[in-house]
Amino acid sequence: MPSDSPQPTYRKTAILAGILFIVCSAATILSALPTHSLLDSPDYFSELAAHDGRVIIGALIELIWAVTAGGIAVALYPVLRRRSEGLALGAVACRVVEGVFVLVGAVSLLVLLTLGQKSVVGAFADAPSLQASGSLLLSVRDWVGGFMSQVPFQLGALMYYVAMYKSAIVPRWLSGWGLLGAGLYLVATVYSAFIQDFSFTTATAALSAPIAVQEMVLAVWLIAKGFKRPMPAPALATMIGTTNQGRSRSCPKPS
């Protein structure tokens, strides 16, 4: 017997997800600003030691990025699981993995700061070993920031945009835009890994721009309008049954 209870609208969930999209995107963009010029310096140990406040700020921004990345998929989970629990759970797993790798990058930044401070006061007598450790940590940050954190983000985004498209809880043009944008960004990330160049080029900017813009549009949509309420399954079955009965009445059986 069909239930007459109203379907949940998840209005607060939509607002929370929209805010998380905005905060996560802002943190992703801002994370490199405090330390990018310091890490690019030939004497990056001294630069990091001299600007320890900027390093701490950069690590805190990356922490916000990690937490909000997982938070997006967790916030969307109760809505998406009603139509595709597997995709909803997969999106949570992928974006949590993204957050873990972002935290690895933040920890490597803080370790670089500690090494820089110790090198300035002459705590390391073995300069070659110090430089080797620094190069290793910089490589970790390059791979984590340019590849290992990006692929789980893109796979998670593909999963929840497929679920959104199937359930139509947001306009399908919007979830379709997300599918295209995440796919293009995945192509750019895999290409960067093969050539081992994670610098921000014109090509990577062009391929990442669609998903960046789409997520801001989606965030505003969720905050302003929330999720569309899809037709409940019992009501849909009733409508289909009524339509089929009408067709059988209008089409007499052959004698």
| Model confidence pLDDT, tens digit, residues 76-114 | 999 999 888 999 999 999 999 999 999 999 999 999 999
> Where does the pLDDT of residue 226 fall: very low under 50, low under 70, confident under 90, or very high at 90 and above?
very high
Q: With contact defined as beta carbons under 8 Å apart, do 81 and 89 qualify?
A: yes
Range with the poorest average pLDDT among 5-9, 46-50, 60-64, 199-203: 5-9
Q: Kindly tell me the sign of the dihedral angle through the C-alpha atoms of 127, 131, 134, 136.
A: negative
pLDDT of residue 10: 86
> Where does the pLDDT of residue 238 fall: very low under 50, low under 70, confident under 90, or very high at 90 and above?
very low
Q: With contact defined as beta carbons under 8 Å apart, do 70 and 96 qualify?
A: yes
65 has pLDDT over 80: yes
- The residues near 135 (Cβ < 8 Å, ≥ 6 apart) are none
Range with the poorest average pLDDT among 42-51, 113-122, 173-182: 113-122
Q: CA 213 from chain center: how many Å?
A: 13
- What pTM, to 2 d.p., does this model score? 0.83
Looking at this protein, which amino acid is placed at residue 35? Answer: T
198 has pLDDT over 70: yes
Mean pLDDT, rounded, of the chain: 86
pLDDT of residue 199: 83
Share of the chain above pLDDT 90, in %: 68
| Model confidence pLDDT, tens digit, residues 137-179 | 999 999 999 999 999 999 999 999 999 999 999 999 999 999 9
Cα-based distances in Å from 108 to 64, 104, 105, 199 = 16, 6, 5, 19
Cα-based distances in Å from 116 to 43, 54, 112, 244 = 9, 14, 6, 75
pLDDT of residue 249: 53
> Where does the pLDDT of residue 7 fall: very low under 50, low under 70, confident under 90, or very high at 90 and above?
low
244 has pLDDT over 70: no
* 227/215 Cα distance (integer angstroms): 15
3-state class (DSSP) for residue 168: coil
